[in-house]
Amino acid sequence: MHDTMVLDHPAYFGTAFRWYARLTFGLSARSAHLVVTPSEHSKRQILSRWPSAMVKVIPWPVELTSPKGDRAQRNRRVLVVASADRHKRLPLAIAVVEAARARSGEDLGLDLVVRSGNDEDALMAAVRGNEGWIRVHRSVSEAALSNLYQQAICVLVTSIDEGFCLPAVEAAEYGTPVAHAGPGALPEVAPFDGAPSDVLMSDEELLVTRVIDLLDDSRAQQEAERLRQHVRENFSPARVRTAWLEALEAVRCK
């Protein structure tokens, strides 16, 4: 069970999916010998609903190689990789970069790599009139996506919640830092060195501040290196493989 987001934030999802989740999630969690989920956040949410479930955290594996790209040669563009669903809040991503452009005085661009979702109309309405600095990419090849990660100054995540967030760990492969407001599993997946006052900011204010912070190459390099170290220590294929073997053995012995 990746997450319980549809139950935690039902207004962001369609009626059919909400009913499907209500009918099947609890039944599955209560009847399973073991529930596997990718984050401690998701584990807490699952147990808050089904306390008797046996839950084990096994994150997605990430294999890091040498970071690709030279920081000094990157474009001044922010990257978002997400579905065009309401819970991803892509219009917020546009508002954040627009505010960062105004406050920093830099001609920042935004690359939106999106697949279809339930908030397409709101997304395209937010893009309209900003085509000069926003590019929307669909059906992107692996090579093209790799290049976008490699050239971005940061990856921006604006979701209302996350059960894990693959784009955040994929960014580590390219030495690209991640800006987020800390919902759900994001602090586990991509820790960000925020100040205590962050809790007093709205998501938009915090995200604008973090994007502007990452315009500084030394700060961006520091955050990128910290992300890579965190991913290497916590999401290595060897560690994930061991966790799966332990889970399978636990189920076998039941």
Q: Contact 106/215 with Cβ under 8 angstroms?
A: yes
Is residue 166 in a domain?
yes
DSSP 8-state assignment for residue 61: P
Is residue 80 in a domain?
yes
Burial class (CB in 10 A: 0-12, 13-18, 19+), 116: exposed
Report the domain count for the chain.
2
Q: Contact 192/127 with Cβ under 8 angstroms?
A: no
CATH number of the domain within which 79 lies:
3.40.50.2000
| Tokens read off for 128 | 């309209």
Residues 56 and 76 occupy one common structural domain: no
What pairs with residue 115 in β-bridges? 83
Q: Contact 223/214 with Cβ under 8 angstroms?
A: yes
Is residue 66 in a domain?
no
- The tens place of each residue's pLDDT in the chain, 254 residues long, gives 999 999 999 999 999 999 999 999 999 999 999 999 999 999 999 999 999 999 999 999 988 876 665 666 678 999 999 999 999 999 999 999 999 999 999 999 999 999 999 999 999 999 999 999 999 999 999 999 999 999 999 999 999 999 999 999 999 989 999 999 988 999 999 987 654 445 567 899 999 999 999 999 999 999 999 999 999 999 999 999 999 999 888 887 76
Please give the single-letter amino acid code of residue 214.
L
Please give the single-letter amino acid code of residue 231.
V
Q: Contact 177/227 with Cβ under 8 angstroms?
A: yes
How much is the pTM? 0.92
Containing domain of residue 42, as a range?
5-61+236-252
